[in-house]
Each structure stands twice: as C-alpha cells, then as structure tokens.
C-alpha cells in the first residue's frame, strides 16, 4: 500500500494537469457561448465610414489608368499600400488571368495614392494569396491549375505550367523563397492544390490556406520554409474546411483566423492548429484581417438572394475578443449583387487609424474607406 507521502505526491502531480484542463475547458466554453451569441443583422449596424473617391492614381500607361480584377491588398511597415491584381484583366470573370499579359501584378502605393513601384511580370498565371510581413517582404501565391487559359498556354519562359506555388519576395521583387512545386498539384508537405491565402506569424512561421482546390487545409512552415504540420480537410465540422479563402494572424492573442468561405464562417485556431471557435455572423467570408487592437474586418463578396440569402455583401467590422459586431459597410454596387458573378472585396486590410483598403474582384476597384464618426 502506498505511503501517505506518495499519495500526496501523486495528488500534487495530478493537480496541475487537472487545473490546465479546467482552464482549457472554461476557455473553450466561453468561446462556445460567444459562438452561440445572437448578433444583430448587418442592415441594423451603423456605417461610420466614408468612401475616399478617386484613390489611388493609376498612371495612364497602365491599362489607360483603369483596373481589372484585384484580389488582395496589404500595408507594409512604412505605411505604404501594396496591391495584388490580375494584370488588369477581367476574363474569365471572377478568375481573371495574367496569362498572355505582361503587366506587373504587384503594385506599391504611398498613402496619397501615388504609384511607387511595380513588379512580378510573367511570374503568375492566377494571382491569389498575398501578404506583407513585418520585415516588409512580399508573399504571393499563384492558384492556377490550368495548362491553358482563354486558349493561351499557361507555361512560363521555361516551358513549365505556372501555378500551385507561394513566393517570398523582397520589396524590390527579388525572389527569396519558393514553396510548392511549379505546376504540380498535390497534398504532400511540399505541394499545394491552388493555394489561396498566406499569413506570417511574428516569429516568421508561414501559414498557407490550401483552399482553391480539393485539399481544404492549412499548411504551416517554419520561417525558413521547412514543413511543420498541416490541419483540416473537406467538411463542415470544427477544424474542417470548404474553400478556406483567406487567412490572417493578429490581435492580442495572435490567433489564426481563416475565412472558411463555402462554410459561411470564420474559424479561429491557435498557431498549433487547435480549434477555438467558429463565427457565422459575417455571411460568406472571402477576406479576413485582424488588427493589432483586436478589431476584425471581414468581407463577404458573394452573398445575394440565391447565394447565402439573408446576408449582404460588404465589410463587417467588430472585435475579435468575442466576435461582437460594430459596423457594416455595404457594397457600393449592392443593388447589382444578383447580376454580378462576383462582387465585393476578396482582399481587405486596415491601417492603425482604422482606414480600410478593399481589393475588389468584380467591380474592378481598390476602395479606401475613412472612418468619419
């Protein structure tokens, strides 16, 4: 029979795992209650934002100063705004291609809207995921999966079909790292199936939503590109995905936020992939951004009377602390939601003042919103 001391020692050893389990259960319970909370309708939320007209300024020698489809926007440490667009093309609608075009898909603007730099010509067939890390490096993905687009070959100068890759570039466009194998679709540790979004953790870890194909997962790499883990697969349960379209890491807890678009929700994880909560108060999220102060910005670019009815296309603003909603910016062309194949912002970011930049696929605009009250 064990001595009293041994029993006390064993009890002490058990105490801390038990406490940890109770804390975890309490945290999960609080998140679950937040998930069950009833949120106001988008139409009942205030809109304290004003659209900043005629921003930015595109040079006349770039497609006559007119945009095509945009897919993402982000802000670098200096405060400049970077845009990832589809080479001023508008076809195929909703999935415009850079194939056959020489326009640079990566553009840098200063806060006044003046174009500062551009690069990336010939690198991408179907621009998609995009982010700027804390060192100012540019990360972009090519989600192309087709050998030909609009009757044109999607091969690069070396005769290889472009796509299924993520690139890290310097602010001047020098390629520093490549993840994935060009033109090779797969679900292994070194292959993607149309990677859709990219987020970089403060320690440099790389997170990719492998979401425009069939993989429906998040892939995590170390800062030097070594595979760490993957989580998720196709489904609608916690930690499962149906077209994870965008990803953001931010807020006071540095959680991972995934726009699980076809499941009409944002899923929240810690950086090890442990499920925290799923929020469904945003409609059909195409883009998600979490600011340092825990403000979230989520864009629904697809809902209408037949797709996810009951929700409006636009940008929802709130707090990532509990999922509460504070404001809603309806799409400028909301009346055309049932006509346009894709509207709204598929990329969104905000600066420290709360100024919002939204990259539109359908309306072919880069919108800037300033908070006025």
Q: How far apart are alpha carbons 25 and 19 in whole angstroms?
A: 10
Closest CA relative to residue 245, chosen from 293, 298, 203, 291: 298
Same-domain status, 99 and 17: no
249 and 222 in one domain?
yes
| Residue-range definition of the domain harbouring residue 24 | 1-36
Looking at the fold, whether 309 and 342 belong to one and the same domain comes out as yes
Cα separation, 275 vs 254, whole angstroms: 14
The DSSP result for 275-298, as a single string, is EEEEE-TTSSEEEEEE-TTSEEEE
Q: In this structure, are 157 and 9 located in the same domain? A: no
89 and 199 in one domain? Answer: yes
CATH of the domain at 184: 2.120.10.30
Judge if 18 and 146 occupy the same domain: no
User: Is 0.75 topped by the overall pTM?
Assistant: yes
pLDDT of 279 reads 97
* The token pair that represents 284 in the structure block: 């059909």
Q: Can you give the pLDDT of all 373 residues of the chain as single tens digits?
A: 444 444 444 344 444 444 444 444 444 455 555 455 789 999 999 999 999 988 998 999 999 999 999 999 999 999 999 999 999 999 999 999 999 999 999 999 999 999 999 999 999 999 999 999 999 999 999 999 999 999 999 999 999 999 999 999 999 999 999 999 999 999 999 999 999 999 999 999 999 999 999 999 999 999 999 999 999 999 999 999 999 999 999 999 999 999 999 999 999 999 999 999 999 999 999 999 999 999 999 999 999 999 999 999 999 999 999 999 999 999 988 888 888 767 789 999 999 999 999 999 988 999 999 999 6
What does the longest C-alpha to C-alpha distance in the chain come to?
88
- Do residues 104 and 9 share a domain? no
pLDDT at 7: 40
Number of domains, the chain:
2
Regarding whether 132 and 5 lie in a shared domain, the answer is no
Is 137 in the same domain as 26? Answer: no
Residues 208 and 299 in one domain: yes
* Calpha distance 6→3 (Å, rounded): 5
* Residue 104, φ and ψ in degrees, nearest 5: -75, 130
The residue whose two tokens read 């999220």 is 285
Q: Are both 72 and 166 inside the same structural domain? A: yes
> What's the half-sphere exposure (Cβ side, CA atoms, 13 Å) at 84?
32
Same domain? 4 vs 48: no
């Amino acid at each position: 029979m064990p001595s009293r001391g041994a029993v006390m020692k064993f009890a002490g050893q058990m105490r801390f795992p038990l406490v940890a389990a109770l804390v975890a259960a309490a945290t999960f319970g609080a998140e679950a209650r937040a998930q069950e909370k009833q949120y106001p309708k988008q139409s009942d939320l205030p809109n304290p934002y004003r659209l900043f007209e005629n921003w930015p300024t595109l040079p006349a020698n770039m497609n006559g100063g007119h945009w095509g489809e945009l897919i993402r926007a982000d802000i670098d440490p200096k405060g400049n705004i970077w845009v990832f667009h589809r080479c001023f093309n508008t076809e195929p609608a909703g999935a415009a291609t850079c194939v056959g075009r020489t326009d640079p898909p990566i553009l840098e603007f200063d806060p006044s809207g003046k174009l500062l730099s551009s690069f990336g010509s010939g690198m991408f067939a179907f621009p998609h995921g995009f982010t700027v890390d804390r060192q100012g490096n540019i990360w972009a993905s090519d989600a192309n999966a087709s050998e030909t687009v609009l009757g044109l070959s999607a091969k690069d100068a070396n005769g290889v079909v472009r796509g299924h890759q993520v690139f890290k570039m310097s602010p001047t466009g020098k390629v520093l790292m490549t993840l994935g194998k060009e033109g090779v679709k797969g679900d292994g540790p070194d292959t993607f199936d149309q990677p859709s979004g990219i987020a970089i953790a403060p320690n440099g870890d790389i997170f990719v939503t492998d979401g425009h194909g069939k993989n429906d997962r998040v892939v995590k790499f170390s800062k030097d590109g070594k595979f760490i883990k993957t989580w998720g697969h196709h489904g609608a349960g916690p930690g499962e995905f149906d077209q994870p379209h965008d990803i953001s890491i931010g807020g006071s807890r540095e959680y991972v936020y995934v726009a699980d678009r076809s499941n009409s929700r944002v899923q929240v994880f810690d950086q090890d992939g442990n499920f925290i909560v799923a929020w469904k108060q945003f409609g059909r999220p195409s883009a998600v951004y979490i600011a340092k102060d825990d403000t979230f910005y989520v864009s629904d670019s697809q809902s209408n009377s037949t797709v996810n009815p009951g929700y409006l296309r636009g940008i929802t603003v709130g707090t990532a602390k509990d999922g509460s909603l504070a404001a809603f910016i309806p799409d400028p062309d909301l009346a055309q939601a049932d006509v346009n194949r894709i509207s709204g912002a598929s990329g969104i970011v905000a600066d420290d003042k709360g100024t919002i930049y939204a990259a539109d696929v359908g309306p072919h605009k880069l919108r800037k919103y300033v908070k006025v009250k």
